[in-house]
Structures are given as structure tokens and as C-alpha cells.
Structure 1
Amino acid sequence: MVLAMSIQQQSFLRDTMRRLNLTREAFSSRIGVSRRALDTWLLPAESQEFRRMPEIVERFVSEILASAAHTSTQSVYSTSDLSITHEGKPCLLSVDQFSRGSAEALFRLADVMQPIARRQKISRVLEGAVLGNLFFEASTRTRVSFGAAFCRLGGSVCDTTGFTFSSMAKGESIYDTSRVLSGYVDALVVRHPDQGSVAEFARATNIPVLNAGDGPGEHPSQALLDLYTIQREFSRLGKIVDGAHIAIVGDLKYGRTVHSLSKLLALYSGIKFTLIAPAELEMPAHIIERIAVNGNVVEQTSDLVNGLRGADVVYATRIQKERFANETIEGYTPEFQINQALVNSVCGPDTLIMHPLPRDSRPGANDLGTDLLHDPRLAIFRQTDNGIPVRMALFASLLGVADQVPHSLRDASWKAPRFIGPDDALFHGMDG
């Protein structure tokens, strides 16, 4: 077969490298081409340096995939190994629902969604479907990201935010709320301050329910987009997830994003986890027990400077003050901040700086410093951009339209900017 358009070429090559667990350098050597040639095949079509992969190379890569014992011969677009269910229902409640294979199947589907997320293509596979966005806690990016992802597939969104505007303020149960709204919408995204509450919403309905954060519990879609970002960035940098050094910094006790991400990363092997937090905010023991598998090593420290040394990824989080109950925070001072001076002194040129956002940008805040804004190692906006294709992939899978997406694409009629933000790094948007 001949790949019809550049996004298919990019998806095909990215998927092959993921399945074979090869860096770009190793993959280019395996197929007998220069690293420079491979890089041009992975660029978006609008790049002046983009090149079409020769058909003979495509056939060779397909033969390598077919002969690899640990891979399948199915199409890059196949979703047969992607099933997101909980107790037999199409729901996303926890990252525990994913294996390494199913997570990477979701990422293959997210690759297909990239031209839609980048405003290059349009798909209407969810036309007529309605999403209920139920956020009982404040949210900006997660709520809008879920809504935008649904709309970009042709659906529409109904939003509600806060208990004040909910019938639950009148004493209505979660069961009643979920059952009633299920008669109005085709999928529910729920954020709730109480751990386990989203699972209660799911038990009351047969429509898809997605967990957008349940108190200090989990935030599975955030963890999935974080891992997807790490994989895409590592592909550009010539790294793989296995064997990486991941430093996680901040409120590890209440930070649901790091709980979910750590469990997903534990699906890989040989990872060094450096968990950096004051003693009062250390990662819960049950999470540490979960991630200390597959040859992974877990280190805990409150020493920010030494903890960051040699890290491939620095994942910072803000303090979750809304989760505290008469607790004090010793040792979490403005000096406990990841800023330009610290990154320059202890991090390498290819270190990836991430944050789930929002970050506290006020002067003196013990969070991710705003002076890193122009540093290309800062990936926080590439991270948020990746939330759209990942959440589109979740919706497409849960609503059973994933296989229709590649055949539904048509060109967008408007022109999107090449770089969304004026301060985006030079490679932002150039890597496919």
C-alpha cells in the first residue's frame, strides 16, 4: 500500500518505532537510511524540508513489522487492541485500565487525530452527539480541552461548573444526577472533589463516563497526555521511555496527576524515579509499591538540586492547598522552585521540563518559574496542546467511531497559524 498523506506517513513511522522500541537513531540504522532522511519523513507536509518516504522503504518497514515476534501486522489505524472499559462498560476511571499495549494503541489513534487538533483537517464522526461536562471543582484547561476535543469531532457540549449550579446542592444523589443527565447526553466527563465519586457516576449509567479528576485520586486523561508528550519529545530527542530518569517534584501526596502518571510509567522497565518533596508531601506508600516493578528504581529525597541531576524528565507540580486539612508545610519554601538558574546548573540540554498546570506564576511562588518561558526544554504548552488529540482518541474509542476517523477527514477551510504561541520553541509544531 502507498500511504496517502503525510500524517499517515508520520503515524506509520512513529508507530513502528514505538512497537520496535527504537530511537530514531537506532531505527534509521535498522532500515539503512540516514537519520537526516528519517527526520524529513517525520516532518509535517507544510514544512519546506518534508520529504515523501520512498515506497520501497515503506515496504521494507512493513516487512520488519510483520516479522517482529512481539508486534502485529495490523494497520497503524487499527483499534482492535484498544478497549477502554470498566466492569464491562465503556468508561475511563483509572489508568489501571491500561496495559502498555493498550496505552500505545491509544497513542496511535491520537497520532491520527493530530491534523484535526492542529486545525488542518476536519472530521464530523460525532455529529449529533452531545457531551455533558460536569465539573464540581474549578477547572479551565481540562474542561475546555475535553469540550474542544468533542467539538472537533463534530459533537456539541453542555457545561456545568460548581455545586452551586447543580441540583446536588439541593441534596440530589450522584446516582440520580447521573441517571437523569444520561437521558440528555451521550457521554459524561466528571470532575469531583471526592475520591471514588466518578465511579459512582459510572455505576448509575451505561453511557461513557470519563474521570476528569476525583479529589486526590486520579486524573487518567492527564497522565495519558503526559506519557504521550514524553514519547513524542523522546522521539525527537532520540530517547525511549524504558530506562529513562524521571524526576517528579512538588506535592506528591495529594497530586492526582503524579499518582496516575507514575502508575502509567511503571508499565515500562528500568525507569529511575526520583521523587522530590518535603517529608509531609511524599508520595503515598501504595503508589511507591505499585511503581517499584519491572526493574524500576524509586528514590525519595527533599534535596531539589541533587534530585534533578541527570534527569531526562522533570515533572513539577503545584501544592494542592485545597486538599489540606489543618496541615502545615515544613520545608516547602520559595527556594523549592524550578527556575532558569537551577535548570541551567543541574539539567542537561535535552532535559524535558513538564507541569500539568495551572502553575502559580506569582512572584516568590514555590512552583515552576516563569523565567523558563523562552527555554525550549519547557514543554508545558506542547503538553497542553497534546491533550486535544489524546482526548479525541478517548472519545472516538469510547463512542465506537475510531475506525471511521481516517476515512472522514477533509481539509479545514480556514488557515491556522504555524506556531500557536508567539513564544513557542522553534521545533514546536515542526515535529509532526
Structure 2
Amino acid sequence: MTIRTLLACSALLLSACSQTPAPAPEPAETSAPRNIIFMIGDGMGANYLTAYRYFLAEGKQQQIKPTIYDELWTGISSTWPDDQTLVTDSAASATALATGIKTFNGAISVDQQHLPIGTLMQQAKRQGKANGIVASSQVNHATPAAFLAHNKSRRNMDAIADQFFDIRIEGQLVPDVMLGGGLTHFIRDDRNLVAEFQAEGYQYADSWQQLAQLSQAPALALLADGGLPSVLNQEMEAPLQVMTEKALELLSNHPQGFVLMVEGSQIDWCGHANDIACAMAEMHDFARAIQSAKAFVDANPDTLLIITADHETGGLALAADGIYEWRADLIYGVQYTVREITQRMMALEPAELADQWRHWTGLTLDDNQLADVLAVHQQQPELYALLNGYINQATRTGWTTSGHTAADVPVMAYGAGAEQFTGFMDNIDIAKRIMGFIQQSAN
């Protein structure tokens, strides 16, 4: 009997034996939140939350306790795009989360015919609310772009940046606060968008010191040419948390409330790199940003905090090679991303490799491993793969891919209206419920 036949028989049996279920009760009327904080951990599948829990406990060294993710976890979401792949990219999933409509991979809030789809931030602007974007990537990268722009390809990043300024709702710019990276897309030979935003009254910052001095919206901060440096590779502590707190400060006094989208962008980049230490560092920064958002909700109970992921990246597995163990404690010895360690190793003399590897990772190269490193010392891709493999082997971390997977992702909610985000849902359901709140708040 084939699987298809078995499924058909099972369906008939269930149909014959079951009664018509009672209709699901209508959800209780919920007063619309004045403010909405929408946080997206790019690439953050459920296993990332599990890994972070054990990482905080340093493996077996401390008592395992619930994290901020665990405390707020209310449901789970599917993420499939509107094509035949079942595996979404960030653009298609962000479009679903920003508009309540699915589209094809690569699309930025346009449908299959490349026609624009209205976003929840455009809706919020029509209702008189302020909007904010925070990202550790470029502010015009796929996820934030889907909330503000429309393009058939996420790769058209200059055109997307242009739309941040050019798209108007009743004469008003849609974003009131934008904090992140992407300077090279805003100051170009053909256009200086920074100057145009400043002419519209936006305060501007291009350093962390200037960011701290921003005093009111509208405001724009572009803190790197591209994405921000990985948390592991920079001295700035908790950059996403710092930007989130500044955005909340700038938006909090808007009379009609606000919508703020915060993306932990580089969780995904670490997943693509199969770099577990990088991933845990980004998860920690995202967790701290969530703590700040939760504190804002506690002080402002008319605020909804909703957290999810656009997809899972890497197929993260907390155990590998058939060994029932995951060594979260060893992750703490890794001081930089594997990409950074690789570059540093390539700049060393052969005699320095073993000692510096131990210094930067807390791990020891055995004779065979050292010989393999010496053999590819100046070959960047080969050396990267070797060093990354040593860390994953030591920590017993498994990965199934360097791309995305079709795994469902967690949903977390807190504050006004959080009860609407429990159980299983699709990513478009999240957007529809948020857009319903925005519409309800205008009535």
C-alpha cells in the first residue's frame, strides 16, 4: 500500500467515525493596543531557543532555567512561501509578516504580478501612528524593506532605499525612526538620501555616540556601511538592545502610538555560516532587546509585544555524530566568529597557529588537526571549513544545511492582545491580527 493510499484510507476512516465538530468559539473582544512592538529573529528556529537556554546554563555547569524566550513563548508558526519550494527566504516571509499576504521568494511586498501590497506600517501611518525600524543588518535589507517598500527583488537595495523616502502616505514619509546599517545605499554618487531626510527634518547619526544624542523623531541612524559587525567581533555591548531602547525612547511620545519592528538580523547570518558561537551571541543580544521591550510593555500596558522568526536557518541540531551530548559550555571559549578567526589565523606564522587557536577558542589542536590546518593555511574557504568543523565537532553541534529550512518557528507574545497569538498559526495570521489591531485602534 502506498503512502497516498494509506492517507486516503485513514481520511475515510476518520470521516466515518467522527461527528461534526462544534464551531470554534469566537475570540473575546480585545481592546486594541496603542503601541505594537514586532520583533523578528531572522533565521531563529525553535532549536535556537533551546540552544540559548542550555547556553545560558553553560551546559551542565549551572541549573537550567527558562529564558526570556521561554517565558513569552505562546505558539508556533508555519512559514511557506507562495511558490512550490515550501522553503521561504527572508523577503517572502517578511512580506507575509508585513502584509498578511504570501508571495514568492525574493519579493518585497509585491504579489505574483509584481504589484505592490499594502503593509501594516503604511496602514499605521494612515491611522496617524508613528513607525520605527531597527535592524542589525542594513535598514533596507529584506526583512525591514518589506515593511516600507515594494520591489520584485530584494537585491535592488538602492531602489528600496529610495522608496523609504519617496513613498508617501497622505504626503507623509512612512518611517519615523530608522536605526541600523546600510550607509552605502543612502549616500551614493546618484543620490544622497541622508541629505534628503535631513531636509525633511530628520535628526541623523552615523556613530554610536551620535545615536545616544538623538533626542526626537523623526530620526535616522546609519551605523555601518553594510550590516553592523557581528556581536562577537565588536566592542559595542548589546548593539541591538541599545538601538531598541533608543527607538522606544524616540517613539514613545507620539500621541497616536507607534509600530516598531526590530530585527535580530544576524542570527540568520550565523546560521548560514553554521557558526554556533556567533549564533548564541546574536541570540543573547536579541534576548536583551526583548527584555528592554518587555520592560517598556510593563511600563506601558497598552502595548503589544509580538516576537517570531521569518524562517529557520541551518537546520541546527543540538547533538551530532550519534553522540548523546551537546557541549554548550565550550561555546564560551570562542571569542570571535569563525570567519574572523580564519582571517586572523591566515595572518599568523605557522609556528603561532596552535597557541593562537587555543587562545581564541579554548580548544586544542591535536597533531593531525594541526597538520590539516598547516596544509590549507592560506586557503580561506578550506581553512574556514576546517576550523568551523573543529568547533562544531567539539560542541557536538550539527547542521543540515548552509541555507534555510521549512521548519516551523516559535511565536511569543506579551501585553495587550497577547492572547490572540497562542497555538498554531501561519505567518500571515500574525500580520492579519496585527493589522486588525491597527484598524481597531482607529475606530
**With structure 1 as the length reference, what TM-score do the two structures score?**
0.31
Q: If you compute each CA radius of gyration, which structure gives the higher value, 1 or 2?
A: 2
Compare relative contact order (CA 8 Å, sep 6+) and give the higher one, 1 or 2. Answer: 2
**With structure 2 as the length reference, what TM-score do the two structures score?**
0.30
More helix by share: 2
